[in-house]
Structure 1
């Protein structure tokens, strides 16, 4: 109970600070530019902290450590890709995108290629990416609240949704910028402080956890453990073992002592497994079964190699296409500040990702039971109490829980702003009132899907969002900024091909998860196929439709690439949206540049 009070107390403090900072940031927010791009007046250093706070989501705070625990050295490509993507963004996209003067990605696409049809397609994919990215944030919030208090998982997602929606309603981008900048430093402290303390404890006297690996490299329980599965799971057994099981095993009823030979076993939901001390650890299917495989890169053969390169494509190129990340670069005063912001983000992310990686390695020694259920995202939350079952562990666990909620709040805020901004300007008339209605609608859809869809590893779900971004907006931005031959017909074709392949792959993966896991890895990690397909489609169709090239392409590209002091940069006009609005009022069509 004390543990719950510590955790709940700090979570409440984080929520209260979020409301307070959101209120401070929203006091002067009353126009559409305030809500969409914070009047384009955010300094580079503050914007970098806000981007980092927004970017470090559940996949970073919980998922990275969980994947290192489960998959070993191959999981390091996640933090590497999440960080390195900003190098490509800084070099190829940040400054020209800011000089475009646009407010949203669909706004940029229409201004660059002069097509309302392209704008509508972009709007669809912005919503898809935003919702697909938002769902794991809310599900992970539920996991966190359930882990630290035992309360229903749906409650965590609902709490985060309410806080985010209220904050965004108050001031949009202007309200959340200060919140996200503060939350980056809060998350850094929440992950760094426990890592330093727990790693010092491990070096000073690791105890039983250090003897949980035998001479053959097989993990063994260092004490008697009881595991209850929250849902059906498939596990691998490599060493014959005895255990006690109550529930469903391989479709049959088990109640008492059982003997497992090497092979794969399907454990039903709610099954209770009791392991004796020194029993080998059954590992969730498709994960390394011994330490040698865990420490060896590409142990999965050709399929594992494909997944790794597909992950690199998705994370490295997907960052350039994430709407909630790109919209923050519209808030910089000019292109130089946008590029400097991306450089600062590289430093901040690189510093952060050191800590979950260390926690993932230490968790393998102290939390082998999580490998049985596959719920390794909980490792960061459980590790402090496991290593230090005293007041110190309670305090460290509370700090981690507060940092996790900060991660959910900051990322969810950015996603809601980006999706609501596009919905309000491209589907609704575009007034401040419409932005607020779009905010409520986005939050309702996201929490509904989070409750209905099955929960997967946060990093894997987010990686699919990166794959969709890499296969749609990355080609559009790179070719739109650097190739004068792009046409709106080619852009639409590339978006439909790349995005359609990723969405289709996701649908196949979901169906496969319910029908025996028959889908190969190309469907769960499709970026190695879908990104080149999107690029090639855009280039080929654009060459076939060269007559559709905008007549003013030279002037547009000059504005994108000319140095800021030359004065070519012009923001697209946005009419202020005073409230209340007269009946029948409609948003004016987007004004041309200049």
Structure 2
């Protein structure tokens, strides 16, 4: 029964996603439609789409699992994820929209007048995107294997085919409709079980040990101050460095619209994090035996049938698996759209045909990596991407918007230093394995020193460099004065 319901849920999600994608394809006719949805996406719709791609497998499955394993320690992740949009709101949303660019490399090229800086940015966008897509495919493989006992590779390949096909068919305009729908689906897929759990446990006495849900050692006196601070810095700054998030602001009609979009996003994802975290807290009370590495990530899928044996549990599980599939599809679609735009613009002529071939390429590479690797903790995998993005791109984006003295050489040095330091630290931490010494903590959570190192490098090299970009004053004027027409390629 469970397998049948799961199959029906998966089929319905794929069918509705395909129908919405076809609708988007019918109205996607121009190059601007494919790259930035002709800059016509209104705040609520755009915020739903951003939330649909931002709330990934790491959030949908991994956050509740991490809460189950770590209790209140895990809440630093949603705090950082949501608060990161405050920095986006204050520092980058409106100026990036006014830049008139299609992609982050477009913006870097226009701001710094450097083809080398553009190419390095493009490479980093691809690396960040691929690192982010792999956990989504791992999550899809994990979900179908746990719920329906289907071979893991089927889930990964199925999501890759749907994502690659949807992006190639309709581009940004089509994916905007898809992602907005997928956000509300995955929010409902977790909210409905939480409501059922609340009704069930609210009507009877349940022995819940507060020390189990919120251990004393996880309180303010028991946290690792450096690791927590470094994690929050990486999550806050990493949001600014995620290309698939920033590219959506190019679809807003105006800079003010981009700001309103960001405000709505903060509200939407905050509600989602509360729901996802609640499932982890409930699991700590009623299913502590699931608190095992490799099993905890599946708690949102396993808990409904544990609490509601029979048809009710099967129906709720089917809804959750539909939401999980929506998480994989929504995030992967946004990532592939952003990477396809970069590949199409930088390697080809930015045509619709090249965009479609780029979508196939940008989907195939992470699929091969996902099939060849073993899934790790979903939240920690996504967290590492935030560290890398914050270290490699955030400083250049923020300084490019707000500091007139930034030069191409300063930006290039910053990106290379940040990417090298963070990549080396995370790789070393993985190779050395979990340890409790200070050196291991510095490698496992390197954001507190790699992000400042990248920013300081950009400032020092730019101060020493006498070769300032041309037209800096004009470009910055267009970023910060909304009454002027946008710079860069128009659409």
TM-score relative to the length of structure 2: 0.96
Secondary structure of 2:100 counterpart: coil
Q: Is the 8 A contact 2:101 2:487 kept in 1?
A: no
Out of 289, 306, 311, which is 1:391 matched to? 311
Q: Is the 8 A contact 2:279 2:300 kept in 1?
A: yes
Q: 1:419 to 1:391 in 2, by over 3 A?
A: same
User: Does residue 337 of structure 2 align to residue 417 of structure 1?
Assistant: yes
Deviation at 1:298, TM superposition (A): 5.6
Question: What's the C-alpha RMSD, in Å, of the aligned pairs?
Answer: 1.9
Once residues 342 and 5 of structure 1 are traced to their aligned partners in structure 2, the CA distance between those partners, rounded to angstroms, is 39
Secondary structure of 1:548 counterpart: coil
Deviation at 1:379, TM superposition (A): 0.8
Which sits farther off after the overlay, 449-458 or 132-141?
449-458
Q: Is the 8 A contact 2:72 2:215 kept in 1?
A: no
Q: Where does the alignment leave 5 or more consecutive residues of structure 2 unmatched? A: none
Deviation at 1:28, TM superposition (A): 2.6
Deviation at 1:202, TM superposition (A): 2.1
Q: Is the 8 A contact 1:298 1:305 kept in 2?
A: no
Deviation at 1:314, TM superposition (A): 1.1
Deviation at 1:370, TM superposition (A): 2.4
Report the counterpart of residue 194 of structure 2 in structure 1: 195
Report the counterpart of residue 464 of structure 2 in structure 1: 544
Once residues 298 and 63 of structure 1 are traced to their aligned partners in structure 2, the CA distance between those partners, rounded to angstroms, is 26
Report the counterpart of residue 83 of structure 1 in structure 2: 82
Q: Is the 8 A contact 1:367 1:383 kept in 2?
A: yes
Deviation at 1:40, TM superposition (A): 1.0
Once residues 314 and 388 of structure 2 are traced to their aligned partners in structure 1, the CA distance between those partners, rounded to angstroms, is 39
User: Does residue 298 of structure 2 align to residue 375 of structure 1?
Assistant: no
Q: CA-to-partner distance for each residue in 1:105-141, whole Å, 9 max, x for gaps?
A: 0110010010000001101110010000100000001
Report the counterpart of residue 54 of structure 1 in structure 2: 53
Report the counterpart of residue 299 of structure 1 in structure 2: 222
User: Does residue 266 of structure 2 align to residue 343 of structure 1?
Assistant: no
User: Does residue 41 of structure 2 align to residue 36 of structure 1?
Assistant: no
Q: Is the 8 A contact 1:102 1:330 kept in 2?
A: yes
Report the counterpart of residue 569 of structure 1 in structure 2: 486
Deviation at 1:297, TM superposition (A): 4.1
Q: Is the 8 A contact 1:18 1:179 kept in 2?
A: yes
Report the counterpart of residue 17 of structure 2 in structure 1: 18
TM-score relative to the length of structure 1: 0.80
Once residues 27 and 306 of structure 2 are traced to their aligned partners in structure 1, the CA distance between those partners, rounded to angstroms, is 47
Report the counterpart of residue 582 of structure 1 in structure 2: none
Report the counterpart of residue 286 of structure 1 in structure 2: none
Deviation at 1:347, TM superposition (A): 1.1
Once residues 389 and 164 of structure 2 are traced to their aligned partners in structure 1, the CA distance between those partners, rounded to angstroms, is 24
* Bigger relative contact order, structure 1 or 2 (CA pairs below 8 A, ≥6 apart): 2
Report the counterpart of residue 557 of structure 1 in structure 2: 476
Deviation at 1:568, TM superposition (A): 3.1
Out of 264, 277, 283, which is 1:363 matched to? 283
Once residues 180 and 530 of structure 1 are traced to their aligned partners in structure 2, the CA distance between those partners, rounded to angstroms, is 33
Q: Is the 8 A contact 1:494 1:537 kept in 2?
A: yes
Q: 1:431 to 1:359 in 2, by over 3 A?
A: same
Report the counterpart of residue 267 of structure 1 in structure 2: none
Once residues 338 and 53 of structure 1 are traced to their aligned partners in structure 2, the CA distance between those partners, rounded to angstroms, is 16
Q: CA-to-partner distance for each residue in 1:190-224, whole Å, 9 max, x for gaps?
A: 111111111221232366xx47x6x9x6x7xxxxx
Report the counterpart of residue 225 of structure 1 in structure 2: none
Q: Where does the alignment leave 5 or more consecutive residues of structure 1 unmatched? A: 220-289, 575-594
Once residues 44 and 283 of structure 2 are traced to their aligned partners in structure 1, the CA distance between those partners, rounded to angstroms, is 34
Once residues 325 and 348 of structure 1 are traced to their aligned partners in structure 2, the CA distance between those partners, rounded to angstroms, is 15
Matches within 5 A, 1:140-289: 140-205=139-204, 210=207
Report the counterpart of residue 251 of structure 1 in structure 2: none
Once residues 435 and 454 of structure 2 are traced to their aligned partners in structure 1, the CA distance between those partners, rounded to angstroms, is 30
Deviation at 1:299, TM superposition (A): 2.5
Once residues 393 and 16 of structure 1 are traced to their aligned partners in structure 2, the CA distance between those partners, rounded to angstroms, is 24
Matches within 5 A, 1:105-144: 105-144=104-143
Deviation at 1:350, TM superposition (A): 1.3
Larger strand percent = 1
Report the counterpart of residue 308 of structure 1 in structure 2: 228
User: Does residue 387 of structure 2 align to residue 467 of structure 1?
Assistant: yes
Once residues 347 and 10 of structure 2 are traced to their aligned partners in structure 1, the CA distance between those partners, rounded to angstroms, is 36
Q: Which runs of 4+ in 1 moved over 4 A?
A: 515-519
Secondary structure of 2:51 counterpart: helix
